[in-house]
């Protein structure tokens, strides 16, 4: 079962999203603060994060950036203003998709499913081999002469370049 973390300070919205996601077969956790949400995202394993932009403690941009430094986990950004969508796109914030409030919950669900599907396809990508070095795209695992080394997302992307 896929695990989803909702970081959203408007509790009614968070609960609504949770209900519908659970009905669609997902396991869902909620965090109502930005700083706590980041902590949860870092310390537990999730398959996807639904991230509100304006949050107490820490905003969605910062959270997205920090998660991206450590983890290769899909993030869907939720924003209240259409002007913020341009910002989300323009900043290249690292979000995999974004939804503008107010949105239909079904729209969110279909985007969650689409992003997870895309992720699964990427997981099937072969392990790259360059000479004696093997690069595992999904696990960010580098193997040289049988010795394994797990890298952070950033380290891996740099090495791949």
Structure tokens at 44: 């537990």
Q: Residues binding Ca ion: what is the number (CB under 5 A)?
A: 3
What stretch of H or E contains 56?
none
> Whose CA is closest to 15, among 24, 4, 6, 26?
6
Instruction: Give the residue nearest to Ca ion (CB).
Output: 54
Are residues 99 and 107 in contact, defined by beta-carbon separation less than 8 angstroms?
Answer: yes
**Coil vs helix vs strand at 47:** coil
Selected from 17, 52, 84, 96, the binder of Ca ion by CB under 5 A is: 52
Q: Does 54 bind Ca ion (CB under 5 A)?
A: yes
Cα–Cα dist 8/80, whole Å: 12
**Coil vs helix vs strand at 93:** coil
Q: Does 100 bind Ca ion (CB under 5 A)?
A: no
Stretch that binds Ca ion, among 12-20, 26-34, 47-55, 151-159 (CB under 5 A): 47-55
Q: Toward Ca ion, which CB reaches closer, 34 or 74?
A: 34
Stretch that binds Ca ion, among 3-11, 22-30, 33-41, 146-154 (CB under 5 A): 3-11
Q: Toward Ca ion, which CB reaches closer, 60 or 74?
A: 60
Stretch that binds Ca ion, among 4-12, 43-51, 68-76, 122-130 (CB under 5 A): 4-12
Q: Toward Ca ion, which CB reaches closer, 52 or 96?
A: 52
Cα–Cα dist 28/106, whole Å: 16
Binding residues for Ca ion restricted to 5-24, rule: CB under 5 A:
9
Instruction: State the pairing for strand pair 75-79/97-100.
Output: parallel
Chain residues binding Ca ion by CB under 5 A are 9, 52, 54
């Amino acid at each position: 079962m896929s695990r989803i973390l909702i970081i959203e300070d408007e509790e009614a919205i968070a609960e609504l999203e949770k209900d519908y996601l659970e009905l669609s077969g997902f396991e869902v956790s909620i965090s109502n603060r930005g700083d706590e949400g980041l902590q949860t995202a870092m310390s537990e394993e999730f398959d996807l994060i639904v991230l509100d932009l304006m949050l107490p403690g820490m905003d969605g941009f910062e959270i997205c950036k920090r998660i991206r430094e450590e983890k290769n986990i899909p993030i869907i950004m939720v924003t209240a203003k259409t002007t913020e969508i341009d910002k989300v796109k323009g900043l290249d914030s690292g979000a995999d998709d974004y939804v503008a409030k107010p949105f239909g919950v079904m729209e969110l669900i279909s985007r969650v499913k689409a992003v997870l599907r895309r992720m699964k396809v990427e997981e099937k990508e072969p392990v790259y081999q360059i000479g004696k070095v093997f690069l595992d795209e999904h696990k960010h695992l580098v193997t040289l002469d049988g010795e394994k080394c797990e890298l952070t997302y950033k380290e891996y992307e740099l090495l791949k370049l």
